[in-house]
Structure 1
Amino acid sequence: MAYREKDAIVPASELPTLGHVDVLNEGEYVDEKVGSLSSRDSLDDATDRDEVVLVKGEPVITTGRDVSRFLLDTRDDGDPALTFRSAVLGTVFAGLGAALCQIYLFKPIQVGVSTVFLLLLIYSVGTAWAAILPRATWVEGTRFARLAPILHFINPGDFHLKEHVVASLVASTAAGGSSAVMNFAVQRLYYDTNVHATTAVLATFSTACFGYGLVGLLRPLTVYPSEMVYWANLPTVSIFQAMHFDSTANHKRIKLFWTAFSGMFLYEVIPSYIFPLLNGINIICLTTQRAPAKAVDVITNLFGGTDGNEGLGMFALSFDWQYITSLPLSFPLVQQANSWVGIIICYVALMGIYYSNLWNSLAFPMLSTSLFSSNGSLYDQLAVFGNTFQLNQTALNEIGLPALTGSNAWSSLTQNLAIGGLIAHCVLFWSPYVVASFKQARTGTQPDPHWKAMQRYNEAPWYWYACLLVLAFVAGLIVVLRGETTLPWWAYILALALGAVVTPFSTLLYARMGNGIATNQLMKMVAGAVNPGRPVANLYFSMWSHDVVATSINLAGDLKMGQYLKIPPRVMFLTQVWGTILGAIINYGMLPIFSIILASSYIDSASGQSVQTLNSAAVTWSLAKELYGPGGPYFIIPMALLIGIAPTLLQWLIAKRWQKIGPIKVHDIMLPIIYSYSANMSVGTNSTVVSTIIVGIVSQVWLRRYHPGWYKKYNYILGGALDGGAQVMIFILSFAVFGASGAARPFPAWAGNPATGNVDYCNGNGALD
């Protein structure tokens, strides 16, 4: 046994068969079973024997290669994937997923519809289907034997892994492909326009399928390699494998899953309905109730954060898992560490901007995405743009230019910084990886064990994806020429081209680190330049550029899940196309529910902030020359796109000379992530920040480094269980008491659910007026 203690260190070179072992922390040791671990990865290419840290005989999951070799099983039982049962279940639950997606779209923190929630429901129904409906074996040797093929078609037997995955991905694709619907909501809410069904369905289909076509062509880069992990999917993959792979270890994981799921399901009703103060307990807010009014205003701005756009939520503790989510259990430590740096900057920057009165910030709320007149009143955009959705210069001269809050301007600035930094980081740091990935795909030498296991199946040809690109292009062109978009055809083509250029960069970051970069500002900046004075055209330009990027990332993550779970590539193609079509139809059908949700004061006073943000950006960028041009008040915002490149270039030059500075690896500094998180609290509910950091430290520092065996077996499935329990309860409460099905039924007021003011008792800035 080789180990490190205070007085004895065995050189790594003396350890058997591993190419390299990191120096271990005090008290950690490498078990003598290391040789069996080396043989377990069964990789022939010596380059794949990269750094592996072992603690108590278990590998510490750090890189994407660790995930592929040690965390996820390469097992493939060869069970059927696309069946009548999986198609029906996927179609039925696509509607449910889309409904829940729209509910969350209008909540103050944007939470995606968890695949865990959908897969649990599908598993329950699929298992019941297999047990209750007649099987072919029931009629063998009887006079009804001729019915056996029909019965087998309807009920092929036990509900297996691949059927379960296909049904879940159809449902989740339909639920996740709805971002374009926000454009239609903006037109309905701000411009009193009802978008026709043909426009909505074809536009949504065009956006999603164009993104999917791009994903298919980029698979060698963004899906096949081990480092393309899509970390947020790991809880889902772990649950799938635990549910369907029968072993002693999986029995323990399943027991943990159902225990955690049930506990969170029962608990979630407390913070979300009965005791909402639990979403943001802040000692400073509670102990300053009698402070002077001006002091309370400052305290609310810095420490309040339980209500939408209330404050920055510093030191608040949230106990509401629906907002914490499993992401801090999933994201790698390097991503979270960079995000923590950005969050610290955010506290300083937003308070500094507001109280220094930069951009006339003191005239407006500290946090808001609304547009304001210079006197602090809400901006009358209808008077400026009218029913034609085009600029009325005379009205603009009378009313004046709109103004952004300081936090909104800072958010736009940092988004552009992040885009510039992202492009620079990919080109300077990751270009060798890009070249190597395409070479491996061309020569069939990709070393990822899951990719190798998939070689038994026929690949979906590249021209399938190319045809999908053409269909998506034609569908979008019909919308532009016939729909209510005000977007010229040439601007539509430019939007698609811009989205296609940005997609590889954003997908690379998301796949490797777990989060992408908001590209909306870049797209709206270009839209404003080519379509001045047309806010609705700006919306659609962004849809066919930014939303293509967002959709591509989601669909690429699903393709990676298919690789992890051994879904045949051609089945995956059909699954995602069908899910996309369903999403286009169902999400348009959900539009009437928007008015119910927005009308419910209980859901959130800040409901619809995503739609509000989208509209604000469209309006301001349609006035790009006046607001963002040289001499305009926000000229620094478009310039940030170029400014963001310079620090990454400097970082790259430093990395060529010094790979480490103290304990920090220079290439682990992710400036795009830091920029992005430095405006993370510029909108919405911010009381969850500290809790997510604590969860991340417990999971990614303590468990991952010091209890890697427990981490490997239970970390991701625990996160999925907690997500599933919370979202199932939220879905029930949304229709039972939150007003999604009609009138809301608020819980009676008490100390944990105050009737007036902010929930966390930070009652400055007119909260009690």
Structure 2
Amino acid sequence: MATQDGVDQLPKLPAAPSSPTESFDEKKVLEKHQSSDSYLAHKIERGPAYDDDEVEYVNGEPVITSGRDVSRYLVDVRDDGDPALTFRSLFIGTVFAGLGAALCQIYLFKPVQLSVSTVFLLLLIYTVGLAWAKYLPRKEWVEGTRFERLAGAIDFINPGEFRIKEHVVSSLVASTAAYGSTAVMNFAVQRLYYDTNVEATTAVLATFSTACFGYGLVGLLRPLTVYPSEMVYWANLPTVSIFQTLHFDTKENHKRLRFFWTAFTGMFCFEVFPAYIFPLLNGINIVCLSTQHVSSAAQDVITNLFGGTNGNEGLGFLSISFDWQYISSTYMSLPLIQQANSWIGYALCYIIIMGIYYTNAWNSKMFPMLSTSLYSQNGTHYNQQAVFGTTFTLNQTALDTVGLPAITGSNAWSNLAANLSIGGLIAHTLLFWSPYVVESFKQARAKTQPDPHWQVINKNYSEVPWWWYIILLALSFFAGLIVVFQGQTTLPWWSYIISLLLGAFITPFSTLLYARMGNGVATNQLMKMVAGAVNPGKPVANLYFSMWSHDVVSTSIGLAQDLKMGQYLKIPPRAMFLTQIWGTLLGAVVNYVVMISVVDAQRDILLDPRGTNVWSGQEVQSLNSAAVTWSLAKQLYGPHGPYIWIPLGLVFGMIPTTIQWAIARKWPVIGGVKVDSVILPLIYMYSAWMSSGSNSTILSSVLVGLISQLWLRRYHPGWFKKYNYILGGALDGGAQVMIFILAFAVFGASGVPKPFPTWAGNPAQGNVDYCNGNGALD
């Protein structure tokens, strides 16, 4: 969803006909725009569902306000019919899948959780593909010579020009591998907290089961979550724009590629400073630097609010970061109206977390303000091994001796906000979007889906049969069942089935929100609640329950997003099917190998509640804490437990959305704002965004969004269209490749770390940003 503030300023298109009989030569429009810098095409299929009279024009340009407008004006319907699945596309995709998956896994052990830039991967692959096509032997080189018999083999290896569909397939193999897997992180939890090294067979079957079950569901839900125009997946638009620009408009390619490599090289060289040599650049806060000599009590408050460079240090209020690996280009693609929901959440987060801590809610002052670890009631680390032993099952006698675990106030709020988000998500989908759901399935059954890109796909290519997805679901189910019976999961078979059913229920809700708004809410909290209810006293069983139920949701969203990209770019559906399965399996293997390397090398840091500004165990700590606490659901979350409000959040999250819906029915627009554009589940989620990790990048990320989506998009639209997304991909790529190198060269991902010598920009003691309250110098 977008407003005038957050839309692409498109090249001027012909005005809409003043009457149905007015002439309109679409072929000329297409030819004109495909040969121009914009590559934008007018629609091929004209009909009542796509009436130009409904479009708002500003200075002769259409305002992109809906998914229907995206399909009509922003994405070209062109299909050249070029091959997609080739040896070259699969080989290049496989090589870069290793890089993408490795980077993804490394970032799961970082203070800030980030994804690998798809734009970076596609541009890197494009450069390699062009070189492959140009420099490797081609069949015409041997035609008419004594080596002519080799022409077939040479053409198989190098089929000539590197065209758009090969490029897309290579990129999707790599990006699919870079999604990450909850299964692999569960293995890390077992390795760190339960001294259990999961066997390779268990790991392979578990990751296959979780990923491919989600993909099977995606196939069954295609009419709802992929085909319709309103299913945009806004984060796809930079990627789709770059694909079509590189292949449909070649006259500017050399200049754009030179710009990409210049920005990439510049960021690659610069990133070594904030990441290694000069880490103070990760979070400069004037308040921290100017209050070095205040009292200890004041320093503690200042650190909690303004500190944020180190993991779990503070909220990072007003900190400025120059570390692009954490800022990233995310806000260079989402429209302002979408970002505004997160900004409201951020503002609430500062108030709520500080309020919880300093009012001592949930006994917060007994623990650090930010942490995802488990604590005893006296503030020491919780001895979970004494309570659950080697069988990973509750020992009630030991629990009576050790006592119940406790979590920090910020962690409790994070869990409560997650439940509020889930309740709000279900209510928002049912109340605001249910008519759309019914209509989508009716259109799919009648094959009357008006989206022009779906029409091209449906006309030119064979769809994947439903039974392919059903077979995939069956294979995934039995693979998981083998893990349950043969692996070290302690999960009963009937609980495994419940987990899959729960994930299948939540998947359409989550995918709808993500597709329409460009971001979604974390639904794994619901999975943990149900896990605790059906598997009391079994933390490892809870890990696997939430793994299967949540991975179904997260994998489905990622793969549905890729299917939409395939629809926009006219990739044959059967080629997409094989591409995504191959990328998923590659990612699982690489993620598992990198996880073992990092966990073995950085074990002590990953177990430390604070971590460092380089490595952090917050993800595995959070998974373990949730598994342990929800396995004690009756004692902790029951009617007499300290955290009773957390499960009730699921119900309370529905109430404000219901009120909002009632208001929207009577007053759809209030003060110029559409009531249904306020997405309460997103606001809830971002209101707990800073409950753990490094928080010094929030302000910088917001500023990047304002510069890109407000200043550049509105006042420099030509530059924005040509370079905005390429710049974001280049900066992400340069930073991430340098981090990949530093991780193994000096950060100790596979051995002993080699820290940079200490100086003012890399202090020997305390927090990097000089906010040294809470005993940072002890």
Normalising by structure 1, we get a TM-score of 0.92
Which among 742, 761, 767 is matched to residue 733 of structure 1? Answer: 742
Partner of 1:763, secondary structure, is coil
Instruction: Tell me which residue corresponds to 1:501.
Output: 505
How far apart are residue 536 of structure 1 and its match?
Answer: 0.2
Instruction: Tell me which residue corresponds to 1:30.
Output: none
How far apart are residue 39 of structure 1 and its match?
Answer: 9.1
1:47 aligns with 2:56: no
**Structure 1 residues 517, 668: closer, same or farther in 2, change over 3 A?**
same
Instruction: Tell me which residue corresponds to 1:106.
Output: 109
How far apart are residue 688 of structure 1 and its match?
Answer: 0.9
Cα separation, 2, equivalents of 1:324 and 1:593: 26
Once the two structures are superposed, residues 649-708 of structure 1 have per-residue CA deviations (whole angstroms, 9 ceiling, x without a partner) of: 000000011011112211111000000000000001111111111122222333334444
Instruction: Tell me which residue corresponds to 1:565.
Output: 569
Which residues in structure 2 correspond to 1:359-374 (within 5 Å)? 359-374=362-377
Partner of 1:446, secondary structure, is coil
Once the two structures are superposed, residues 38-92 of structure 1 have per-residue CA deviations (whole angstroms, 9 ceiling, x without a partner) of: 9923442333337544344333434323332333333222221111122222223
Counterpart residue type for residue 306 of structure 1: T
How far apart are residue 260 of structure 1 and its match?
Answer: 2.8
Instruction: Tell me which residue corresponds to 1:388.
Output: 391
Cα separation, 1, equivalents of 2:435 and 2:184: 38
Instruction: Tell me which residue corresponds to 2:559.
Output: 555
- Preserved contact between residue 103 and residue 597 of structure 1 (Cα < 8 Å): no
1:279 aligns with 2:288: no
Instruction: Tell me which residue corresponds to 1:616.
Output: 625
Which residues in structure 2 correspond to 1:367-766 (within 5 Å)? 367-455=370-458, 456-599=460-603, 604=613, 607-766=616-775
Once the two structures are superposed, residues 258-288 of structure 1 have per-residue CA deviations (whole angstroms, 9 ceiling, x without a partner) of: 3333332232222222221111111111111
Counterpart residue type for residue 488 of structure 2: E
How far apart are residue 606 of structure 1 and its match?
Answer: 5.4
| Greater alpha carbon shift after TM alignment, 585-594 vs 605-614 | 585-594
- Preserved contact between residue 165 and residue 240 of structure 1 (Cα < 8 Å): yes
Cα separation, 2, equivalents of 1:16 and 1:81: 36
Instruction: Tell me which residue corresponds to 1:5.
Output: none
Counterpart residue type for residue 441 of structure 1: A
**Structure 1 residues 184, 742: closer, same or farther in 2, change over 3 A?**
same
Instruction: Tell me which residue corresponds to 1:337.
Output: 340
How far apart are residue 577 of structure 1 and its match?
Answer: 1.1
Partner of 1:387, secondary structure, is coil
**Structure 1 residues 222, 478: closer, same or farther in 2, change over 3 A?**
same
Cα separation, 2, equivalents of 1:652 and 1:726: 43
Counterpart residue type for residue 724 of structure 1: G
How far apart are residue 382 of structure 1 and its match?
Answer: 0.3
Partner of 1:142, secondary structure, is coil
- Preserved contact between residue 104 and residue 180 of structure 2 (Cα < 8 Å): no
Cα separation, 2, equivalents of 1:378 and 1:642: 32
Cα separation, 1, equivalents of 2:249 and 2:423: 48
Once the two structures are superposed, residues 336-362 of structure 1 have per-residue CA deviations (whole angstroms, 9 ceiling, x without a partner) of: 111111111111100000000000000
Partner of 1:723, secondary structure, is helix
1:201 aligns with 2:193: no
Counterpart residue type for residue 740 of structure 1: A
Which among 123, 126, 129 is matched to residue 129 of structure 2? Answer: 126
Counterpart residue type for residue 392 of structure 1: N
- Preserved contact between residue 207 and residue 544 of structure 1 (Cα < 8 Å): yes
**Structure 1 residues 257, 480: closer, same or farther in 2, change over 3 A?**
same
| Greater alpha carbon shift after TM alignment, 267-276 vs 50-59 | 50-59
How far apart are residue 710 of structure 1 and its match?
Answer: 4.1
| Greater alpha carbon shift after TM alignment, 610-619 vs 248-257 | 248-257
**Structure 1 residues 695, 55: closer, same or farther in 2, change over 3 A?**
farther
| Greater alpha carbon shift after TM alignment, 516-525 vs 355-364 | 516-525
| Greater alpha carbon shift after TM alignment, 320-329 vs 234-243 | 234-243
1:168 aligns with 2:168: no
Cα separation, 2, equivalents of 1:548 and 1:571: 22
- Preserved contact between residue 743 and residue 749 of structure 2 (Cα < 8 Å): yes
- Preserved contact between residue 60 and residue 704 of structure 1 (Cα < 8 Å): no
Partner of 1:176, secondary structure, is coil
Cα separation, 2, equivalents of 1:336 and 1:118: 25
Which among 213, 217, 221 is matched to residue 214 of structure 1? Answer: 217
**Structure 1 residues 62, 283: closer, same or farther in 2, change over 3 A?**
farther
- Preserved contact between residue 225 and residue 560 of structure 2 (Cα < 8 Å): yes
**Structure 1 residues 672, 242: closer, same or farther in 2, change over 3 A?**
same
Segments of 5+ residues of structure 2 without an aligned counterpart are: 1-14, 20-32, 606-610
Q: Give the percent of matched residue pairs that are identical in Structure 1 and Structure 2.
A: 72
Cα separation, 2, equivalents of 1:420 and 1:18: 46
Cα separation, 2, equivalents of 1:338 and 1:125: 39
Cα separation, 1, equivalents of 2:614 and 2:277: 18
Cα separation, 2, equivalents of 1:74 and 1:444: 18
Instruction: Tell me which residue corresponds to 2:262.
Output: 259
Cα separation, 2, equivalents of 1:560 and 1:155: 28
Cα separation, 2, equivalents of 1:263 and 1:226: 38
Once the two structures are superposed, residues 124-176 of structure 1 have per-residue CA deviations (whole angstroms, 9 ceiling, x without a partner) of: 33333323332211111111111111111122122222222212212222221
How far apart are residue 315 of structure 1 and its match?
Answer: 0.7
**Structure 1 residues 698, 678: closer, same or farther in 2, change over 3 A?**
same
**Structure 1 residues 339, 277: closer, same or farther in 2, change over 3 A?**
same
Which residues in structure 2 correspond to 1:119-158 (within 5 Å)? 119-158=122-161
Cα separation, 2, equivalents of 1:738 and 1:245: 42
**Structure 1 residues 505, 407: closer, same or farther in 2, change over 3 A?**
same
Cα separation, 2, equivalents of 1:16 and 1:205: 50
| Greater alpha carbon shift after TM alignment, 183-192 vs 312-321 | 312-321
How far apart are residue 393 of structure 1 and its match?
Answer: 0.2
- Preserved contact between residue 107 and residue 113 of structure 2 (Cα < 8 Å): yes
Counterpart residue type for residue 446 of structure 1: Q
Cα separation, 2, equivalents of 1:568 and 1:43: 20
- Preserved contact between residue 17 and residue 38 of structure 1 (Cα < 8 Å): no
**Structure 1 residues 349, 544: closer, same or farther in 2, change over 3 A?**
same
Instruction: Tell me which residue corresponds to 1:28.
Output: none
Cα separation, 2, equivalents of 1:334 and 1:291: 41
**Structure 1 residues 756, 410: closer, same or farther in 2, change over 3 A?**
same
How far apart are residue 297 of structure 1 and its match?
Answer: 0.3
Q: What RMSD over aligned residues (CA atoms) do the two structures have, in Å? A: 2.2
How far apart are residue 119 of structure 1 and its match?
Answer: 2.8
Cα separation, 2, equivalents of 1:201 and 1:407: 35
- The number of residue pairs the alignment matches comes to 740
- Preserved contact between residue 419 and residue 641 of structure 1 (Cα < 8 Å): yes
Cα separation, 2, equivalents of 1:93 and 1:714: 24
- Preserved contact between residue 58 and residue 709 of structure 1 (Cα < 8 Å): no
- Preserved contact between residue 300 and residue 311 of structure 1 (Cα < 8 Å): yes
Cα separation, 2, equivalents of 1:736 and 1:63: 46
Once the two structures are superposed, residues 288-327 of structure 1 have per-residue CA deviations (whole angstroms, 9 ceiling, x without a partner) of: 1111110010000001011110000111111111111111
| Greater alpha carbon shift after TM alignment, 693-702 vs 563-572 | 693-702
